[in-house]
Structure 1
Amino acid sequence: MDTFMQFFATMSSGQKLGWAFACLTTFWVLEGAVPLVRFDYRKWKHARVNLFFLTTSLLINALFTAAMAGVYVWSEARGFGLLRLVAWPIWAELLIAVLALDFMAQWFAHYLLHHVKWMWRLHLVHHSDTHVDATTGTRHHPLDYVIRELFSAATVLVFGIPLAFYVFYRIATIFFTYFTHANINVPAWIDRPLSWVFVTPNMHKFHHHVEVPWTDTNFGNVFSFWDRLMGTMVQGDPRQVRYGVDTLEGSPDESIVYQLKVPLQGRRM
């Protein structure tokens, strides 16, 4: 277990970037082989705006990674954080760290992005995509991504989460980001059992429905039981979902300039 965690503690930026592109490429290819729905769109043109936001997210992530190093040094030197108060097996502390990050830095932050008016204006960019596919997972307004990173930093600080645990969770997050947004046909007999524990493609598609109340459901990132516990879980036939945001219907969802301006004109549904 120590060797396993050492691997994540020493992962290079190149390895992390390689993992991200490997996951994106894998689901990009699967979309062509086993699509959930057949979109009438130009796949590369659609990806252009989403990959632009991937670039901004990578830059922000690099800045926060540098800042996070200072958080680790400070908390370790002072013995600050809940996990530093216990001496449990590594696997138990890793599980707690992953659950804490998934709930606080993802589910709760995501919930706020939908229910705090100024945050929703930023998050509209993610929901404005009318052709949800693997690249949609990278479509976040820069300030939307900053909010998520701030919640991650706060969770790491409060729990005293070691670097290896944090990186392990981020690697898992990358996989689930592309997996759950991918336009792939996952048979119900596979998707349903998985969705009792993990967020699945069929489950997450309802979160991108153009209309409330479906838009305000299924906030989970890795684990689905947060939504079950909070009463925000819905399931059904993902082929019936119409993507986008009704307050932005008819807008140029493939225009980078327009999308950067969305927070200035979007309103809560």
Structure 2
Amino acid sequence: MTVTQFIGQHEDAVQIALYAFIISSLWLMEVCFSLGITVKKRWQHNKTNLLFIFTALPIQLILTTFVLMIVSWTNSHHWGLINYIPHHQNKWVYYISLFMLMDLCEYVYHVVMHKIDPLWKFHLVHHSDQHVDVSTTVREHPGETCVRTSFQMLWVFLLGPAVSVLVLRQTFQSLFNVLAHTEFRLPPRVNKVVGLIFITPNLHHVHHHYQLPHTDRNYGDVLSIWDRLFGTFGQLDADDTRFGIDTHMDKNITGKFLNILKIPFQKLERPK
């Protein structure tokens, strides 16, 4: 059995292990090097977010089974948009084309979650965190976990990627999602260069600012090129960035796990 085959058969386990390693490493770095917050306060914040792992994992494991079934079907039937792209067995063209198409799909998914109120009510759970750090990565309502994985089924069906592409994509996505939520920001000059192509913590922090129009900026997952192309790119200085969402700034709601779970089922009032 090759490494690719092993990872393909154990994709969930590999992704969970990768997530755990990256989050643990960055969390320790945040504890050691960040100023202005004690370990006790950090843990009180983190444990609320980490509880979402227990609601997401069962859903993720079950639905990913269907994702892999769709991958198997599309590959065996030569179905999907990738079959209309002339790659002629060129793996570079094949992998890069699919990676970019899947990243574009994730950009579309993210925009949809913001623009359709019933979906936004689930997604705002993630945005309601008033202290963005690596633990914010896993702050996802189980309802959004269902929606996100269902969209992934759709993208896989439309594009027809091989399992190896899906694994590669998920690896990069996991890495960039965690890094984007870390407290650490890149130096301005480095961010200016890296941010030409990739979503950096500096850019994603803009997206987590508590007010529009910044909440509707920098939807990108791994690549920032879609935001630049579709006019949703934005920048904001760290001193001007305030995390959270202006409709839900009460920490008695956004700081308690059970209260957070209830948010999507309450009346939504968008700010004027």
Q: Give the direction of change, closer, same or farther, for the CA distance of 1:232–1:53 in structure 2 (3 Å limit).
A: same
Residue 32 (structure 1) shift: 2.9
Structure-2 separation of matches of 1:128 and 1:268:
14
- Report if aligned partners of 2:75, 2:161 keep a CA contact under 8 Å in 1: no
Residue 142 (structure 1) shift: 1.1
Residue 88 (structure 1) shift: 3.7
Residue 156 (structure 1) shift: 1.0
- Larger RCO, structures 1/2 (Cα 8 Å, 6+ apart): 1
Structure-1 separation of matches of 2:203 and 2:69:
37
In structure 2, the residue matched to 1:92 is 93
Structure-2 separation of matches of 1:242 and 1:32:
21
In structure 2, the residue matched to 1:262 is 263
In structure 2, the residue matched to 1:184 is 184
Residue 8 (structure 1) shift: 4.5
Structure-2 separation of matches of 1:97 and 1:244:
33
Query: Which ranges in structure 1 are unaligned for 5 or more consecutive residues?
Result: none
Structure-1 separation of matches of 2:214 and 2:11:
39
In structure 2, the residue matched to 1:65 is 64
Structure-2 separation of matches of 1:180 and 1:107:
15
In structure 2, the residue matched to 1:145 is 145
Partner amino acid, structure 1, of 2:81: L
After the TM superposition, which of the residue ranges 200-209 and 51-60 deviates more from structure 2?
51-60
Residues 20-66 of structure 1 deviation map (CA, whole Å, 9 limit, x = unaligned): 1111012212223443x734771111111211112322222211221
- Report if aligned partners of 1:81, 1:158 keep a CA contact under 8 Å in 2: yes
What RMSD over aligned residues (CA atoms) do the two structures have, in Å? Answer: 2.0
- Report if aligned partners of 2:12, 2:64 keep a CA contact under 8 Å in 1: no
In structure 2, the residue matched to 1:42 is 41
Structure-1 separation of matches of 2:261 and 2:32:
32
Residue 11 (structure 1) shift: 4.9
In structure 2, the residue matched to 1:232 is 232
Partner amino acid, structure 1, of 2:161: I
After the TM superposition, which of the residue ranges 256-265 and 231-240 deviates more from structure 2?
231-240
Task: Name the count of aligned residue pairs.
Answer: 265
TM-score scaled by length of structure 1: 0.91
In structure 2, the residue matched to 1:214 is 214
- Report if aligned partners of 1:101, 1:152 keep a CA contact under 8 Å in 2: no
Instruction: Report the 3-state secondary structure (helix = DSSP H, G, I; strand = E; otherwise coil) of the residue aligned with 1:247.
Output: coil
After the TM superposition, which of the residue ranges 67-76 and 121-130 deviates more from structure 2?
67-76
After the TM superposition, which of the residue ranges 55-64 and 176-185 deviates more from structure 2?
55-64
Instruction: Report the 3-state secondary structure (helix = DSSP H, G, I; strand = E; otherwise coil) of the residue aligned with 1:248.
Output: coil
Q: Give the direction of change, closer, same or farther, for the CA distance of 1:168–1:121 in structure 2 (3 Å limit).
A: same
Structure-1 separation of matches of 2:11 and 2:250:
42
Structure-2 separation of matches of 1:98 and 1:200:
18
Amino-acid identity (%): 29
